[in-house]
Amino acid sequence: MSNLVRAVIHNATVTHVSSDWPVALRLDPVIMRAAQLLPLEEVEIVNLSTAARSRTYVQPGDAGEVRVFAAAAAGAGDIISIIAFAQLHAGQTLDHRAKVVTLDANNNVITIADATTQY
């Protein structure tokens, strides 16, 4: 089994930080669909300013929303990447394609691409 990137969202701007339950990443449903993320799916958050990483799960939020929980070591206005992984058997890795979604400063989807394991 190999643990490969299944989806990555680049340049998400944190809009809110919440100290309330749930400790989930709340994300604009349009962004979730673009990256093919499911509610309750585990994701890793990477703060691009501090390199801090945290794991949580994703939940649909409001339009344009990227709400992190306080323990995610990110503040409003920080730029983050969001990564989802998948465990694949050797045969599945040959044809694996990860979704790569890039956002603008207002958290609008500007590109959707496929990354491949081919080299």
- The model's pLDDT over 1-21, given as tens digits with 9 standing for 90+, comes to 888 899 999 999 999 998 876
Enumerate domains of the chain plus CATH numbers. 2-116 (2.40.40.20)
- Paired tokens of 72: 């995610």
Residues 41 and 86: their CA atoms lie apart, in Å, by 10
Structure confidence by residue, pLDDT tens digits, 64-108: 999 998 777 788 999 999 999 998 878 777 778 889 999 999 999
Residues 92 and 110: their CA atoms lie apart, in Å, by 29
pLDDT of residue 71: 74
- Pick from 49, 66, 50, 45: which is nearest to 109 by CA? 66
Indicate the pairing of strand 53-60 with strand 97-103: unpaired
Residues 96 and 101: their CA atoms lie apart, in Å, by 16
